[in-house]
Structures are given as C-alpha cells and as structure tokens.
Structure 1
Amino acid sequence: MKRNNIKLFSIVLTATFSFSSCSDSFLSDKKNYDNVNAGIYNYYSGANARVGDVYAWSLPDPNSDANWKSNCTGNPDGQSKSTEEYSGFGTFVNPEAPMTVMGGTKVEDYFQNQANNIQASVWGRIRNINDVINGISGSTLSETDKDKLLGQVYFFRAWCYYNLVKWYGGVPIVKEVLEPVESSVVLRSSAKDCIDFICDDLDKSATMLTAATTNGGWQSADWGRVTSGTALALKGRVLLLWASPLFNRKNDITRWNTAYDEIKKSISVLNSCGYGLYQTSNNINGSDFAQLFSTVHSPEAVFTTLFNIVTSGNGQKNNGWERSIRPKNTTGNGGNEASAMLVDMFPMADGKRPVFSNTYTKLDASDFTYNENYPFMDRDPRFYRTFAFPGTRWAYTGDPTEADPKNPSYNGGKDYALWNYVWYTDVNDQGNAESGNSYGADNLLKNKKGIYVRKRSDDLDVNASTLYSWAATDKNGGFTYSAAPYIEIRYAEVLLNYAEAACGAGHMDEAVEQLQKIRARVGYTSANNFGLQADLTSDQAACMSAVLYERQVELAYEGKRFDDLRRWMLFDGGTSEADGAPETWTLTGWGGNTCTYLGFKPLNGQRRENMEFRVQDSYGMGGTTADSDPLLKANVVRPAAVDYSQPLGLQLKSLKDFYSTTFVRKLKKGDGRDQNHIDETMMYYPRYYFLGLSQGAQSNNTALQQTIGWEDYNNAGSNGTFDPLAE
C-alpha cells in the first residue's frame, strides 16, 4: 500500500463477547503504540484476545446502515431501498442522481473508506487479521490451540474479501502484514483468483475448526463463534455468487456443479455443528419462523452477532432493531415502513403468487382471490410475521403511558393492538398521494407508518422471556437494550443456496426438496405439495424462479435481497452493458435475458409506492390531536385485534368486515416525483453491477486499475481498464 494508506495504530485487545482475555497488566506490559508485541501470542489468553479483536472489527452490525464495514442487514438503507422491500430511491436506483467517480453523486466506497486510519479502513481490517494470523502461526502455542484460533481468523479474512469481491470482482490479494511503504503496493487480482483465495481460506477454517466444533458445536461459553459449518456455509454462498449470471455470463455448468457438490457436502458438517431449521412441537401460524430470531442459542444461527442488555460501559453491545421497528406509541423509534410492492407480492395461503402479480409469471397463480383492500386475507403464514397492519396484536412488556399519558397502555403492552389507521384534516388531502397531512390513531398522529415491518421482532406472544429491557424514560426509546442476536447466515439460507445450486446444476428434484423443508417449517404440508407447483422438477426456469421467489419471502428484511437482485441482474435482465465493456460481458446464458428466462419483470422502469388505511369519507375529517379521531367521535367499536396464537380464519374475516365499513386503502407516494409531480421510476445503471474505485481510493493507490465503465481519476477521467470478468 502507499505510504499514506495504512498505519497500524494501537490495537485494543478488549473482546466484546464472553471471550477469555488476559490481565490488564499483562497487556500493558506487552504492547506498544505502533504494534502488538509478538510475545502476546505465546499465551492462549493473549492470542484469544486478539481473535476477539478480529470479531469486534468484522462481525456484521445490524445497528449500522450498509457501508464500507457493515454489509446490509435489513435496515432501510441505500441498498434495501433499491429493492422491493422499501421505497424512496436508494443510492443505486435514483434516476436523478447517477453515481460517478468524479461528479456530484460519488460512487459508494466499499473499497477503502479512510486510508490513514486502520480502524476505519477496509484494508486496515485485513491488515489486522493478517497480523493475527502471523502472530498465532509463529507462536509457541500447541497445534491444537493454533487450529482453534486460526480457524476463526481465516474465516474472517474470507468474509472481508467476500464483501469486496461481490462489489468489485478482482481486488488486491494481501496475505502478509505489509509495511506502509511505496513498494508494498499490490495490484488487483482476477475475480477467479480472489474466489479461489476466499475458498482456500474457508477450507482452512473448516479443517482447523473440525475438532472443536463438529461434535455439536462450541461449548455454551463460546457459543456464537464461527464453526466449520459457518465456514462451509459462507463457501457455499461464495460459489453460488461465482455461478450466478453476474460472474457467469455464459452459464458455465461446471460452476453450478461445483457449487452444488460443495453445498451438498456441507450439510452434514453443518448438522454435526448443531445447526438445523428452528422447529418446535408447538408451531402455530408460523410461530417457529417468528421465534427463531429471538432465540439466543437457535440452531438456525450459522453465522451470528451476539448482543446484551448491558446499559453502559465498554461491555455494552445492544441490538437496536427492536427499538427501530416498534411504533412510536410503544416508545419505539417509530418503525420501518414496508413498500406496497412487497406486501402485494407475498404468496397467498396456498403458497402461490397473487393472481394479479405480473412478476414470477412462470409460477402458478393462486386459487385465492387477492383483494388489495384486505391484503391480510388468505396469505402465506410468513406474511403475518413479516408485516404489521391495523388490527393486529404485537405484544410487548412496558407501559408507554409513563412517557406520554395519551399513549394506549394495553395492559402494560401485554395486549398491545396496532391501530395505525389514519384520518385527514382536509378533504383535499384525502386523495392526494403526496399529502402527508394524515394523523394516526392511538396517539401515533404524525409518527405513523402505513404497513410496519414486523420481521425479526421479539414478540411477547412467541417469546415470553423477552431479550430486551424496557424503560419509558430512556432517551432512545423503551426498547433500547436488546440482546436479540442478529443472524447473518441462517440454516434456511443454506438450504436455499443448496436449492439454487441444485437447480442450476440440473438437479431440480433436490432443489424442490429444500423448498419443501423450508415451507414445512411454516406450516405447509404434503397435501398440496407444500404449495409448490408440480412442474418444478422438470422445468428448470420455473424451478429457479420458485427458488428466487422463496428467497425473497423467507429472507425478507434480512439484507439479502439486494445481493440477489445484483447476482441475477434483475434490474434489467443483463441486457445492457457498461461503456467499454468487452464482448465477454455480453450475457449469452439464460437466453440473453435473466428476467425473460425467469418470468420476472425488471425493476428498472418500476416504482414502489406505500399504502395506508384511512377512515371512510362518511366519518368526516378529524383534527390534529389523538382525541379528534373520527372513529372515536362516532363511537365505533373496534374488533379484537388478530391474535396469531389462535386460529386465524374467523379473526381475519371479522377484521375484513370491519375494514369494509370503516377503512379505505390509499396508495401513498413512495418513490420520488419530479418538480412537475410526474412519477419517476427506478434506474439501475449497468455499470453498477461492478463498482468503480472511488476518487479517494484511486488517488491513494495510483497503481490500481479502474473498473471498466467508470472514470479513471488517475488518467484524466478516461474509461477504466480493469475487467472484473477476465480470468
């Protein structure tokens, strides 16, 4: 790296988990402010603290939007807002602000971030990992101890590189601790070499961790560390990326075969590490699917970040998801709003797509009639665990009247019912999609969402021992201190990876078997083939479409959708190319258009709206206060909120009847409009499939080639020359 790229600052040897660490006095004796004394690695406690440091720097962080350090975890950030999950023109689909290297809207920088700060540098994190690898490898620890520690660190080096390669294709492969001098520059390697390097690190990790983790996993005190199964699960994800259209424009079957073979072999290792689908004997209306996210030692958690409810100090590590998704009248932060597009796309109760949907047209339409005015009727069990809408229970523990006496208590939250319908104060606003002059019931007022994201919630009705501490007086909201784990790779994703690879390799029967397992967990049965159409074992395109649809539903709001859209080039079907792209970039597999092949409507040219339910015209207008609710003034009695622990049929019918006489579904503006109030649509430019290096990264690394399709800052803005697809 160049002289001003990376300088190793002092390393903090404090693990944020329950990892062993050596005494403060020992650390004080053995470190300096430029590096860590190699002698620390001769003590297991010291080496283990350095490994803990790697975890602290590298684990996914659900409290952060996607950036140079943190992958997308489901927050409404620039990546998720470029999918069907949220509206609002995320960074990658804004038609009015195309990303450039040298222009006004700078290309996202996942390659460097801060060049002169190791803790805020992509390559500083990798340098830190290499330092730990070198230190442990050269120590006097036993081979058993070395394997136990190095296996974890090799995983995280692979994890860091995976998060680079998926964006840039080829990047510099750095295996040593480089000195901050000019001669340390390492050029970009090919994407193939990077994929091989990642897989090699993951094979090392899996082998080294075999003895410690393949007899049921780590002991309880070390639960949450990566295992052999974690390494092979990530390897499967990497090989699937390599086989996908983004990297595999000719649909080379050997890549699919490799991914299929490796993922299939990994299943037994994952099982030996204690992983599997989270399933109980009391699965009601998909409650197992809901509960897996609030279970600390869940067998589903293949790669996870742990949290606690410590309220202050160095040991504090709280998960903010529960706080962010809860409505304001529970003293949550106000909630995340789901787009109407995804709400309307979810499967019906028979497992099929809604009949009106023009996406996934190679999949059978449902026999159930979908009425957008009652989107909750006859839906897939996961629908009710993913979204929250007016008239549903969403129980918790805490009395929000302590924060605001106008908030509804609902028995201290234990019987909380979400009533987030709205009214308007002016009739001219009622039909205006751009008007935000509506007020939400139950003291939500201006702090309301139309359809809330409920996914990954710590719901009192499915988890009686909640993982959060609640205090109305906390300045950040009542759900501040949550110990709910975040799962980056869960077992269901591994099965979906298996299904996709099997389908790509021509083993559609095995692909369908994995889909059946996932659907069985949420309540589907063999009586209707788990809601899957009969021709999936014979029609490869329909089978792949079914796999991607299942991924979209099962993994919604878990930060996976944007990567899937990129892998399969579903913004335009792969029909457009970046400026200067060679012939090898032309998509010749899948008929030259992945969207046509799959029966998927390209996202480019579409827009996402939101929805809300307002009171019907007959109730008139309301005011700006909680007690001006037109339904309250009319003495309308609400039905009991839908309780998911009970049979849904009659409850949903009762709610539908109430909606029919009380509410109107209104579409609200989601994506932007221009200055003339004309709808704008998503635009994902073809050069975005592989990102260019930012201006800062180029200026600090003048020997690195720019990616084709992007301006080369070091060559007066001419087109880049690095080919991410060249082998």
Structure 2
Amino acid sequence: MKVIRYAVLGLAGMMALASCSDKFIDEKKNFDNVNTDIYNYESGINGRLNDLYSWSLPDVNVQDVQRWKSPSEGTNDMSGKSTEEYSGFSVFLDPQKELTSSVGTDQVPDLFMGDKGNIQASVYGRIRNINDFITNVKSHSAADDVKAKALGQAYFFRAWCYYMLMKWYGGVPLVTDVQDPVESSFTERSSARATKDFIISDLNMSAKLLAPYTMNGGWDSGNFGRITTGTALALKGRVLLLWASPLFNRANDQERWTSAYNTMKAEKDSIDACGYHLYKSGKNVNGSDFAAMFLQTGVNPEAVFVTLYNNVAGDGLDNQKNNSWERWIRPHNTTGSGFNASAMLVDMFPMSDGKIPAGTGTYTKLQTSSVSYDSSLPFLNRDPRFYRTFAFPGFRWAYQGDASAANSLYPNDGPNYVLWNYCWYLNADGNTDPENTNNYFADGLLNSGKSGVYVRKKSDDLDVNGSPLYQWQATASNGGFAYSGAQLIELRYAEVLLNLAEAACGAGQMGEAVSLLQQIRERAGYTADNNYGLPDNLTGDQAACMSAILYERQIEFAYEGKRMDDMRRWMLYDGGAHQPEGAPADWTLTGWGGNTCTWLGVKPLNGQRRENMVFRVADSFGTGGVTADTDPLKNEARPAGVDLRLSGEELTKQMNDLADWYRTHLVRQMKKGDSYDQNHITEFINFRPKYYFLGFNQAVSNANTRLPQTCGWVDYNTGSLGTFDPLAE
C-alpha cells in the first residue's frame, strides 16, 4: 500500500484520555513535533504513550464515517441498524441499493483508509504513530522497566488497530516499521491467517511485557483504565473466536475450535489475576447489578478494556472528554434525544423463567417459555435485564436535575421522573396507519417521533447510582446530560466468559460451556432452582448449546455494538448459503451442514422486517390536538410509576396496576420501522453475500493502485472482479 503522506508525528495532547485519576493524566504538556530525546525519560515516554491512548481508544461519540477508528458502541449507526436492535435499513441491509466500489451514494464505506491527508484521521496514520513509538522506545536509553510497561501497551494498540481491519477485510497490509512518505513505500496485502498470526503475536508480547506489573490485581487505582495482561489476553480470545467462526472457518475445522478453547481456558487465570471478574454488588435487585456495572467510578472489575471519560464542562478544553450516551438515550422532555428500540428485539427477550417467548420464530432449537407472553403488555414477566435495557410508558427513569421548565403541564423533576410517552392522533385514521406521523406524545414530547420503547441500556439511572456521573444543566447548548463521565466498556468480563463458552461448545465441551452460561445468568438474577433459566438439553446437543450462547450474547450485549460482529461471524443473514459473484471454491460453507442458520435453528435476518411500536390512546378516548393540554388522557389518573427498587408483592402490584391501566387506556400499535417502496409496499432485509468481507471503494483503490481488491467486489482500477481471497492461506 502507499504510505500515508504525512511526515510529522504530533500529539493531540496527553490530557485527551481524561481519566478520573490524577496519576493517569499528569499535568498538561504539549508534545507536538517532539524531539526523540524524550524517549530517554519516563515522563517523555508516558506523554507519548498517553497520546497513543487518545488516538486508539474506542469512543462512543464517533459517527459512521469514523467506524474505522472505533467499533460501534450501541447507537443506531450503520452497524446497529444492521441487527435486530434498531429498525431502518442500514447501508448493508437496503434491498434497493447495492453497495459498490465506485464513487456515489451507494459506495461501500471506507473502513480501511480514512482521511489519508490527516494522520489522526487515517487508519494507517494511527498505526504509523504506534510504530514510531515502538521503534523509538526500543532504541533509546530509558530504564528497562519503563520500556517494558510502555511497549506492552503499545503492542496492544497495534494489535487492536489490525483487529479492526481484519474483522472487515480479512487480510490487510501489515506495516511494522515507520515507512518514508514516498511513492515507493509499499506493503503487500497479507493473508487473513498471516494477519491473525501477527495480531496474536503482538497480543502475546503485550501480555508478557505487562505481566510483572498487572498480574497481581492490575494497575494501582490511579492507573485504572490502562491496558493489562488481561486486556491483551481477552482481545486474543476474541480474535481466536473470530478465526474459528464460520466467517473464516467455512469447513468447520475442529482444530481451530480446540486450539481456541485450550488457549482461552489456560489464559483465563491470567485475566482473573489482573483483578477482573463479573461485577456484583451483593444486593442485586431486578437486574440492578447489570445496570450498575456501567456506572462505576475508578476501578471496575467488569471493565477489561475501557475508555474513561469525565464530566468537565467547557468548550473543547484539553482536559474535557465527555461521554454523550446519556444525552442521546434520554427522552426529549428531559433535554435528551432518545433512541427507538425495534419491536423485534423487545419481543425476542427472555421471559421471567429465562426462556425465549413462544411464537417468535427464532432460536427454534431452544425451549420456549412456559410463561405466556402478552405482546400488548410486553413489560410483564420478563428477564431482569429487560427492564435495564428498555424503557416503557409508566416506568420510573430517575435522573439528577429538573427539566420541568420544558413542560409545565406535567412536571418531570428528575428524582420523580416517570416516562409517559404514549401518543394520540389528530384523527382516527392514524389509529390503523403505521405510516401516519401526525401523532403527538404525552408530557411535552409532542411530535418527537419517539416510539413506545426507548433504549435504556447503560443509562445513569438515579435509582441505581445515587451519585450521577454527569453534570445536568438544562440549557439549549449542552442538552442537559452532555457532560457525562460514564465509562465506556468495550470488552467486558462477561464477554471473556461467553467467548470461552463459545469456544468450549465448538470444541465439544458443552458441559463447560453451560457452566459459563450459568455464571452470566446468575449475575442477571437467576438461580439454580430452574437451571438458571437455561434449557435442559444443552450438554447433549451442540447446535442447541451454540444457539443458547448466541442468544445469551444477543441479550447480554444488546446495545453495546457487538451484535453485528456476531451476525457476520456466524453468517446469520443468510446462513452462508449464498456466495458473491466470482467467489472462490473455498468460500462455500461445507461445515454446519452448509447453512449455519439451519444448523443453529436461527431464522435468517434476510427476508425479515423490523418494525417499531407505539402505545397509542385507546379508541374510546378519541383524538387530540398538537399541544400537551389536548392529551385525551389528561384527566385520567395515572398509576404510580413502576419502581424497580421494589421487589416481591410491592413490585408485582405496581406491574399489575400499570397493566390494568394499559388495558383500559392504551393500545400497542405497529409503526413503520424498515422502509416501504415508493408504492408503500413493505420491503425486506437483504444483506448481500459480498458484504461478509468488505471491498475497497474508489478512493482507496485510487490511492493504493497496487492493492488487490477483495473477491466479490469490482476493482475500480481494472474494472474486473477482485482477486484477493481473504480465506486463502
């Protein structure tokens, strides 16, 4: 590949990491255009190292165009909208628009190059910066322990960068030194196996170098958030699982599963030795531990790979690094904006006995629940995690602050806030029309377009966290929740367990896989009384066991940006039954009976639709107008907001009271989620086979004329189908 045309390495500012600790971020210094003499000193090395963190850490705030830099973190971006979590066709699912490698509105996203003219916005610019750091640390005279700690963290970030490329493209150019910015600098595209091996090598080196400093409980509290041996080995497990999965393992080579399982099992103790384990408070109530794990300050045992934020207010200050998640998911009448959860995922969540609701048509090899599901009252009798993932009309969603000024009719001061986002229409036609947008929502939401179900996951709920991580300020410029210091956990300890469970199942060790699932379920709130809500046949049926693991991942990691990766790994859009034009023979899926969806008993996402839901005013109450005081239910007494701090009979009574109120006052209405065509005919998901591995778009091919295009994609430079096979050895 052509080297990035940028000769000067600079630092964005070591304060950008914005840890809550004083030790992690020393006093602000400017290290732009550094003299290499700084590598002789610990302070200089740490300044440069902190800059690598600021360039490389995942970021909840990035947009789709920056997905090369950070994985999806649960927003309704192109990844989130390629799953059951959100409706609305992403670029990967649109049945009318096929992505191409040519310039245009349907051009395949560039997750390979980024902005080649800006080293900080360039994929390989980031790698070049890390290579420069590694080269200089090695060649200078700082103390050996200083070098080891710094290099261990740098090797991890180089592996992280290449992992982000591998999961989309398979094999990529492996640049390991600081190339001169000239035309002759070129690195061939390596095979996927070589790319995987390189990533594993860097992670092994990272784990080894950091072991003396992090395997006795991790870094000290002042350095929490830094990479540890456990971080490196946990990412290694994710990479090994990717390599064993159907996307890269079309023949179901058992050696890959066995190798992944043996390695991950042997290294789990090292991860644990760094202080990581499932977050538990000892007083879990209705999934409160599941919510509280995202609301920790300082050391968080669940956070194996984490980005730290702060709630410093300001305008682009070097010490300001805020997490925008709380602002996004909160309702408009609390100065947020809100995300709509798709009805598909709401209906798919487990019931209170841990089993999937009957009638969903997915996961057909899993036992369905004996608890009846009333889709008109979807909040009744659900998995404890359900209530920490979604928000419905009539549920408390407390916050610190008071947005009442935005709505005087229904005061919504934060400590007493209850979500009431039911809607009404201007005329009765809207009651049966899923496309009608003349609906108005209660309590000052008005025509906000927000459905009957909000995403609540990772929210800083005042009922869970009495010391919020945000500074709430109800002004138009900051959006109330803008200044949040909540941690962003990219790789949780729960994933360590579920990755190992999946590898164990693939290697035929279903008993161990089930024991790991039980640990996840126990934290969620299940007990051994009913086998933690798990089906009884998992130890003797590998397909059912794997299906249960994937279902658990879907529920546990909902709205954390993991689902599309799982769907691509297991080819769940079409089961791997179809191949793109020009695909080599080795792309044919010969393992799993030739179709992963059939083997798993999972309904392919292709050919389905995702809809939204609202809870509208029942017909007997008529219609309303365009202001809050025309709410048809304004004179109807509301029940107390469901308080998830309660349990037993108290909580049951509140749930039943709310259900009775729904039965009288509200109706669940299907609203258009995925698109209709120009004739208002429903369209259906179509993830094309060539999307399992991305090709280079025109800009990338123009800048890198010698790089071969991926199979299934047209090479813009030649006009012919690509020749690079990500599965070739």
TM-score for the superposition, normalised by structure 2: 0.96
Q: C-alpha displacement at 1:10, in angstroms?
A: 3.4
- Cα deviations by residue, 1:122-154 (Å, 9 ceiling, x for unpaired): 000000000011111111111111111110010
Q: Which residue does 2:233 correspond to in 1?
A: 232
Given the alignment of the two structures, is residue 197 of structure 1 paired with residue 211 of structure 2, yes or no? no
SS class of match (1:246): coil
What is the aligned counterpart of 2:388 among 385, 390, 410?
385
Equivalence map 1:163-312=2 (5 Å): 163-296=164-297, 297-312=299-314
Q: C-alpha displacement at 1:659, in angstroms?
A: 0.7
Gaps of 5+ in 1: none
Q: C-alpha displacement at 1:366, in angstroms?
A: 0.3
Q: C-alpha displacement at 1:654, in angstroms?
A: 1.3
What is the aligned counterpart of 1:545 among 537, 547, 553?
547
Q: C-alpha displacement at 1:96, in angstroms?
A: 1.5
Structure 1 contact 21–48 (Cα < 8 Å) conserved:
no
Structure 1 contact 8–124 (Cα < 8 Å) conserved:
no
What is the aligned counterpart of 1:394 among 392, 397, 403?
397
Q: Are residues 623 and 64 of structure 1, via their aligned partners in 2, closer, same or farther at CA, if it must alter by over 3 Å?
A: same
Q: Quick one: distance in 1 between partners of 2:294 and 2:267?
A: 23
SS class of match (2:291): helix
Matched to 1:376, the amino acid is F
Given the alignment of the two structures, is residue 513 of structure 1 paired with residue 511 of structure 2, yes or no? no
Q: Quick one: distance in 1 between partners of 2:332 and 2:116?
A: 40
Q: C-alpha displacement at 1:3, in angstroms?
A: 6.3
SS class of match (1:373): coil
Q: C-alpha displacement at 1:532, in angstroms?
A: 0.7
Which stretch of the first structure deviates more once superposed, 577-586 or 95-104? Answer: 95-104
Q: C-alpha displacement at 1:658, in angstroms?
A: 0.9
Q: Which residue does 2:361 correspond to in 1?
A: 358
- Cα deviations by residue, 1:514-533 (Å, 9 ceiling, x for unpaired): 11000000110000000111
Q: RMSD between aligned alpha carbons? A: 1.4
Matched to 1:342, the amino acid is L
Q: C-alpha displacement at 1:266, in angstroms?
A: 2.4
Q: Quick one: distance in 2 between partners of 1:251 and 1:355?
A: 31
Q: Which residue does 2:692 correspond to in 1?
A: 689
Q: Quick one: distance in 2 between partners of 1:582 and 1:248?
A: 14
Matched to 1:328, the amino acid is H
SS class of match (1:414): helix
Q: C-alpha displacement at 1:703, in angstroms?
A: 1.1
Q: Quick one: distance in 2 between partners of 1:417 and 1:368?
A: 27
Percent identity, please. 58
Q: Which residue does 2:573 correspond to in 1?
A: 571
Q: Are residues 420 and 21 of structure 1, via their aligned partners in 2, closer, same or farther at CA, if it must alter by over 3 Å?
A: closer
Q: C-alpha displacement at 1:24, in angstroms?
A: 7.5
How many residues matched?
Answer: 715
Given the alignment of the two structures, is residue 599 of structure 1 paired with residue 601 of structure 2, yes or no? yes
Q: C-alpha displacement at 1:630, in angstroms?
A: 0.3
Structure 1 contact 86–337 (Cα < 8 Å) conserved:
yes
Which stretch of the first structure deviates more once superposed, 129-138 or 552-561? Answer: 129-138
Q: Which residue does 1:670 correspond to in 2?
A: 673
Structure 1 contact 41–136 (Cα < 8 Å) conserved:
yes
Matched to 2:569, the amino acid is R
Matched to 1:61, the amino acid is D
Q: Quick one: distance in 2 between partners of 1:652 and 1:320?
A: 31
Gaps of 5+ in 2: none
Q: Quick one: distance in 2 between partners of 1:298 and 1:9?
A: 33
Q: Quick one: distance in 2 between partners of 1:605 and 1:470?
A: 43
Given the alignment of the two structures, is residue 321 of structure 1 paired with residue 319 of structure 2, yes or no? no
What is the aligned counterpart of 1:48 among 41, 46, 49?
46
SS class of match (2:717): helix
Structure 2 contact 15–28 (Cα < 8 Å) conserved:
no
Structure 1 contact 203–232 (Cα < 8 Å) conserved:
yes
What is the aligned counterpart of 1:491 among 490, 493, 511?
493
Which stretch of the first structure deviates more once superposed, 644-653 or 434-443? Answer: 644-653
TM-score for the superposition, normalised by structure 1: 0.97
Matched to 1:15, the amino acid is M
Q: C-alpha displacement at 1:8, in angstroms?
A: 3.2
Structure 1 contact 7–116 (Cα < 8 Å) conserved:
no
Q: C-alpha displacement at 1:649, in angstroms?
A: 2.0
Q: Which residue does 1:70 correspond to in 2?
A: 70
- Cα deviations by residue, 1:313-342 (Å, 9 ceiling, x for unpaired): 11100000001000011112x200000000
Equivalence map 1:423-438=2 (5 Å): 423-438=424-439
Matched to 2:490, the amino acid is E
Q: Quick one: distance in 2 between partners of 1:278 and 1:57?
A: 28
Q: C-alpha displacement at 1:21, in angstroms?
A: 7.1
Q: Quick one: distance in 1 between partners of 2:511 and 2:229?
A: 27
Q: Which residue does 2:372 correspond to in 1?
A: 369
Q: Which residue does 1:39 correspond to in 2?
A: 37
Q: C-alpha displacement at 1:401, in angstroms?
A: 2.2
Structure 2 contact 609–674 (Cα < 8 Å) conserved:
yes
Q: Quick one: distance in 2 between partners of 1:137 and 1:177?
A: 13
Q: C-alpha displacement at 1:69, in angstroms?
A: 1.2
Which stretch of the first structure deviates more once superposed, 543-552 or 422-431? Answer: 422-431
Which stretch of the first structure deviates more once superposed, 12-21 or 138-147? Answer: 12-21
Q: Quick one: distance in 2 between partners of 1:10 and 1:382?
A: 44
Q: C-alpha displacement at 1:220, in angstroms?
A: 1.2
